[in-house]
Amino acid sequence: MAKKPKIKELLDESACAHNKTKKNACNAPVPGATTGGCAFEGAQISLFPYADAAHLVHGPLTCLGSSWETRATETSFVGRDLTQMGFTTAISMSDVVFGGEQKLLGAIDYIMERYAPQAIFVYATCVTALIGDDLDAVCRHAARKYGVPMVPVHAPGFVGSKNLGSRLGGEAVLERLIGTLEPETTTPFDINLIGEYNVTGDMWRYAPLLEELGIRVLSTLSGDGRVARIRTAHRARLNVIVCAKSLISLTRKMEERYGIPSISLSFYGRRDTSSGLLAIAEALGDADLIERTRNLIAREEARLEQRLAPYRAVFEGKKAVLNTGGNKSWSIASALQDLGIEVVATAVKKATEADREKAGQYLGENGVLMMNPGAEQARIIDETGADLLLAGGRSLYTAIKKRIAFADVNQEKKKSYGGYDGLLNLAEDLKNALENPVFRNVARRAPWEK
Amino acid sequence: MGEVKHKNLKPLQVNPIKLSQPMGAALAFFGVGGCMPLMHGAIGCTSFTKVFLTRHFAEPIAIQTTAVTDVTAILDGGDYNIVESVKNITGKVTPELIGLFTTGLTETKGDDIRGVAARIDFPLVHVNTPDYEGALESGWALATKALIDQLVEPTEAIDDEKVLLLPHVSLTPVEVEKIREFIAAFGFEVLALPDLSTSLDGHLGEKQAALSSGGISVEEIRAAASANFVLSVGASMRPSAEALRKKNPFIRHLHFDHLQGLEATDALAALLLKESGRQEPPQGLVRWRKRLQDAMLDSHFSLGQTRFLVAGEPDQIAGLCSSLREAGGRVRVAISTVDSPQLEQIPAEKVLVGDLEDAENLHDEYDLIITNFHGETLSHRLHKALVLRGYPNWEQVGNQLKNDVLYEGGAYFLFEAANAATRWRVEGGGES
């Protein structure tokens, strides 16, 4: 009997700090007053980057039709990049009535014959979960027939949020893939990167530095990932969680099962990148490695400083207001400070307790932590004479009214801001925003307005 | 007309161009002033739709979800989720209307939204749009028909000057405006239902509106049955026009499958001359017709040596293919998201219901692809020329102002297609 993940258990993650203080870990969404993606989207985000696996969505058209080819997760896989393809059973009325299992089997056959992937991830959706299609049985049958892993992913949208879906995705990988293959060789410095999806090539900004230090990325979940490598993940010495709280359940279980410790970090901005690299070296516990890492950090920071020099004059004395959510409330603030921009306020409405604390540390005593940014940001811009508003599209009007520069932090990322090199991309984009006269120009009054 | 395949026998869709019915319904409700679309499904159905349209229009999109969970999916018949949603929406904003529509999830569990709606004391229109049937076009059409069925007040009066335009889903905001203005130039007062030309046309407002900021007003919809005639554009809109005729036995229904190219626009102009009783057409229109004639001649050389693949919603590809064919474009393959009576009329050698994998398998047969954003990867892989049309286009800005219709838009479209084909040939024309 296949093991289906226990949702209640996942919602009550013992490794989550907030579960010590909150009664209900993850609340049900409020009808008519909810934004944010579903569990299926979360699973999609965490697993789709495996480019050598097909991702087959068993459901009606909405689930995949509007969401394929949406995330710029890059891969070095030389075969066809299956991440950027859309496979769906697109079930019809008769499938709903008579069941969709036969169609699903047919779809798996079709994909194996034409695309020969290393694995197929089969995603349940609300409708196919509700009509009770047995994905486990279909996958078991197909795996025997083709001899490649068929991974059922039980994260139909209605079970919860994106975060829960990512956990369920991690759970599927843990139960079906990790530990099913032995690596050809191992080294004392093998790590797994968990929760790094290589969006816009973020991972490639720092992975070469790890390689230079002799740290081997044994597998990833799932940026630039390969099925064969995540199957060997149980032999790593360290799990490195990159900016993804949702996969903490996975790493805790890997610690319990395989004795792999984990650390959580981010590669956003100079300070985070440096402390992240050092944290990995220290966790691997080799004195020589730590020494080499310190040297590399010093070299990279000096190199970055030199390349940032032309921007220093532009950012000198500039003040920014930041209105975003979650860990971005401090991670972007930290990157802005690295560029020499003063962050006068950041929104913490949608941040956790730990994120708020961290944001407070980064901003110092004069920084404002906005609990109601929509109402507060305009006033703070006036009071501080801020030059730049970084926020979601909805705040554009505030920037135009105040005639200051605007940068959309939620915009689909087109280029990487990760690692040392990414900071240069961020610097360039913010310089362009500050120098752009458009925000003042569109605020011009029309000739017929008084 | 060539070979037409109405059915696709694959057990799956690979690289779909098809979009869901609920998304079409959401779009229709954006074309109603002060309307809050409320999707009855899980949070993801709405979230995907919101993100999809936000990226396409580069505008914030106001839409809500009834947030059905695994628990309420089993225990609730829809009452709780819908009633709570209406309460929570109206607690924050005051919409003119709530547009309630279903998804595959809530249709599978069998919610009686009509029954729930009857118990809600707030202006609300409801429509069943499961995403395991139909596609974007039919979702839009069903929502339009629901607006007519449930809001329009029956009458026997006719206002000679009033015209109701029913545009299909693939007409862009500016195209709807151009069609309205074209008809208005003959002395009519024109309303469009739905009307995206004043809501999703990408205009800078005074502040961020929490609701759809333009569109046809609920009052105007209520009084729509007094129109002299209803003009439907696109086969998908016929049932909506028929629904309006039930509200007034004297209203006439005039229909166009599309309004692209010289012939279709001429037919519209002829009709409007007759209906308005005018002898002379409006001057601007005469000039644009001459420009389109010239555009057809200027572009025919490039188009005549180019083989096209056109993929999208049925009503949309009908117009695109006709326009290309008139100027000599060789439409080898037309791929439709779903079956439609429209397919028999499309001037292409091969017409099929399918996806972009089907397009890939036929790669020997065409040089230039006209389809949505997902055609971009395909064009790179296969070294084909590309013109982006339809939902979504996440690659370019300005989608809301793309105009392919009538004399004016027809000229722009032919130039764009001809230039794309020429550039492709100059750059090596498919040699990898």
**Distances B269 to A376, B178, B262, B391 between C-alpha atoms, Å:** 55, 13, 10, 29
Does residue A442 belong to the interface with chain B, where contact is any CB pair within 8 Å?
A: yes
Indicate the burial class of B294 (C-beta count within 10 angstroms; 0-12, 13-18, 19 or more).
exposed
Preferred mutation among B108, B372, B378, B379 to probe A, highest tally of A CBs within 10 A: B108
Looking at the domain covering A190-300, what would its CATH class be?
alpha beta
- Which one-letter DSSP state was computed for residue A199? B
Q: Does B207 touch chain A (CB under 8 A)?
A: yes
| pLDDT, position A16 | 65
Q: What is the CA radius of gyration of chain A?
A: 23
| CA separation, residue A66 to residues B161, B297, B393 (Å) | 41, 39, 12
The first and second tokens of residue A340, run together, are: 């020499």
- C-alpha B269, offset from chain centre: 22
Mean pLDDT computed over B152-163: 98
Residues found in chain A:
450
User: Which band of pLDDT confidence, cut at 50, 70 and 90, is reported for residue B204?
Assistant: confident
The closest alpha carbon to B257, from B237, B234, B236, belongs to B234
The domain limits of chain A are 7-16+36-176, 190-300, 309-442
Mean pLDDT along residues B305-325: 98
Domains of chain B by residue range = 3-8+284-426, 21-134, 159-282
Q: Which residues pair with A193 in a beta bridge?
A: A220, A240
A39, A62, A131 ranked by CB distance to B103: nearest: A62
The reply to whether residue B67 touches residue A70, judged by beta carbons under 8 angstroms, is no
Of all residues in chain B, the one with the smallest CA distance to A100 is B11
| Tokens found for residue B126 | 């409801």
Provide the pairing of β-strand A368-370 with B3-5. Answer: unpaired
10 Å CB burial of residue A414 (0-12, 13-18, 19+) is: exposed
- What pLDDT score does A2 carry? 40
A166 contacts in chain B (CB < 8 Å): none
| Distance of alpha carbon A195 from alpha carbon A429, whole angstroms | 26
Model pTM score: 0.95
Nearest CA in chain B to A165: B44
Q: Measure the CA–CA gap between A116 and A111, rounded to whole angstroms.
A: 7
From the list A29, A85, A412, the residue facing B43 with the nearest CB is: A29
Query: H or E segment at B161?
Result: strand B159-166
The ipTM of this complex is 0.96
Task: Please check whether residue A446 touches B, CB under 8 A.
Answer: no
Q: Please report the pLDDT score of residue A246 as a whole number.
A: 85
Residue A242, pLDDT > 50, answer: yes
Token digits for B270?
């002829």
Contact B47 A35 (CB under 8 A): yes
Residue of A nearest to B381 (CA): A80
Token pair of B325 as six digits: 């064919």
Q: Which two tokens stand for residue B311?
A: 């993929």
% of chain B residues with pLDDT over 70: 98
Single-letter amino acid code for the residue at B31: G
Domains B21-134 and B159-282 share a fold: yes
A126 with A64: CB under 8 angstroms? no
Per the CB < 8 A criterion, the answer to whether A319 and A388 are in contact is yes
A-B contacts (CB, under 8 Å): 202
Read off the pLDDT of residues B65-102 as tens digits, 9 standing for 90 and up.
Answer: 999 999 999 888 889 999 999 999 999 999 999 999 99
Distance from CA of A83 to the nearest CA of B (A): 11
- Phi and psi dihedrals of B360, rounded to 5? -65, -40
Superfamily of domain B159-282 in the CATH hierarchy: Nitrogenase molybdenum iron protein domain (3.40.50.1980)
Mutate to test the interface with B, among A34, A56, A66 (most CBs of B within 10 A): A66
Q: Give the DSSP per-residue string, B366-399.
A: -SEEEESTTHHHHHHHHT-EEEE-SS---S-S-G
Task: Give yes or no on whether A190-300 and A309-442 have one common fold.
Answer: yes
* Residue B322 contacts A, CB cutoff 8 Å: no
Retrieve residue B176's tokens: 């709807």
CATH 3.40.50.10800 fits A309-442, yes or no: no
pLDDT, mean over chain B: 96
Q: Which residues contact B355 (CB under 8 A, 6 or more apart)?
A: B8, B13, B14, B15, B16, B17, B18, B335
pLDDT digits (tens, 9 = 90+) for A349-380: 878 888 899 899 999 999 999 999 988 999 99
CB contact under 8 A, B60 and A394: yes
pLDDT at B427: 94
Strands (E), B268-427: 307-312, 330-336, 350-353, 368-371, 385-388
DSSP A383-434: HHT-SEEEE-GGGHHHHHHHT-EEEETTSPP-S--BHHHHHHHHHHHHHHHH
For A117-135, the pLDDT digits (tens) are 999 999 999 999 999 999 9
- Picking from B136, B186, B196, the residue whose alpha carbon sits closest to that of residue B166 is B196
Record: contact B84-A31, CB cut-off 8 A? yes
Task: Give A27's pLDDT tier (boundaries 50, 70, 90).
Answer: low
Pick B209 or A195 by higher pLDDT: A195
Which CATH architecture group holds A7-16+36-176? Answer: 3-Layer(aba) Sandwich (3.40)
- Token look-up 């990988």 returns A173
Q: What are the b/e assignments for A158-187, b being 16+ CB within 10 Å? A: bbbbbbbbbbbbbbbbbbbbbbebebeeee
Q: Are strands B368-371 and A119-124 parallel, antiparallel or unpaired?
A: unpaired
Give the tokens for residue B132: 């395991």
The angle at the Cα of A158, spanning A156 to A161, to the nearest 5 degrees, equals 90
Question: Among A204-213, A412-421, B3-12, B19-28, which stretch is predicted with the lowest mean pLDDT?
Answer: A412-421
Indicate the residue of A41, A89, A91 with minimum beta-carbon distance to B44.
A41
Q: What is the pLDDT of residue B154?
A: 98
pLDDT value at residue B144:
98
Subunit contact A31:B22, Cβ cutoff 8 A? no
* B20, B108, B394 member nearest A131 (Cβ): B108
The 10s digit of each residue's pLDDT in A262-282 is 999 989 899 999 999 999 999
pLDDT of residue A1: 33
Distance separating alpha carbons of residues B1 and B344, to the nearest angstrom: 7
Superfamily of domain B21-134: Nitrogenase molybdenum iron protein domain (3.40.50.1980)
Write the CATH number of the domain with boundaries B3-8+284-426.
3.40.50.1980
Torsion angle (degrees, nearest 10) of CA A307, A313, A315, A319: 160
- Assess A30–B contact: CB distance below 8 Å, yes or no: yes
Rounded to 5°, the CA angle A36-A412-B394 comes to: 105
Query: Would you call B380 an interface residue with chain A, using a CB distance cutoff of 8 Å?
Result: no
The partner residue sitting opposite A159, judged by closest CB among B48, B70, B108, is: B70
Closest approach of A226 to chain B, Cα-based (Å): 21
Nearest CA in chain B to A43: B44
List, as one string, the DSSP characters of A5-55: P-HHHHHS-TT-GGGGT-SSSSPPPPTTS--S-BHHHHHHHHHTT-TTEEE
Instruction: Give the least confident one: A99-113, A267-281, A406-420, B156-170.
Output: A406-420
- Would you say residue A156 has pLDDT above 60? yes
